[in-house]
Chains A and B, each alone.
Chain A
Amino acid sequence: DAGITQSPRHKVTETGTPVTLRCHQTENHRYMYWYRQDPGHGLRLIHYSYGVKDTDKGEVSDGYSVSRSKTEDFLLTLESATSSQTSVYFCAISEYLADSNQPQHFGDGTRLSIL
Chain B
Amino acid sequence: KQEVTQIPAALSVPEGENLVLNCSFTDSAIYNLQWFRQDPGKGLTSLLLIQSSQREQTSGRLNASLDKSSGRSTLYIAASQPGDSATYLCALSGYSTLTFGKGTMLLVSP
**Residue positions of A touching B, CB distance < 8 A:** 4, 33, 40-45, 48, 50, 56, 58-59, 90, 92, 97-109
How many residues of B sit at the interface, in one of the four size bands? 20 to 34
Say whether B43 faces chain A, with CB atoms less than 8 Å apart.
Answer: yes
B102-A45 in contact (CB<8A): no
Residues from chain A with a CB closer than 8 A to the CB of B81 are none
A86 to chain B, nearest CB (A): 16
**Tally of A-B Cβ pairs under 8 angstroms:** 68
A41 touches B102 (CB 8 A): yes
A104/B46 in contact, CB under 8 A: yes
List A contacts of B94 (CB < 8 A): 98-99
Contacts of A101 in B (CB 8 A): 32, 49, 51
Contacts A98-B31, A98-B94: A106 and B100 contacting too (C-beta < 8 A)? Answer: no
- Chain A residues with Cβ under 8 A from B4's Cβ? 42
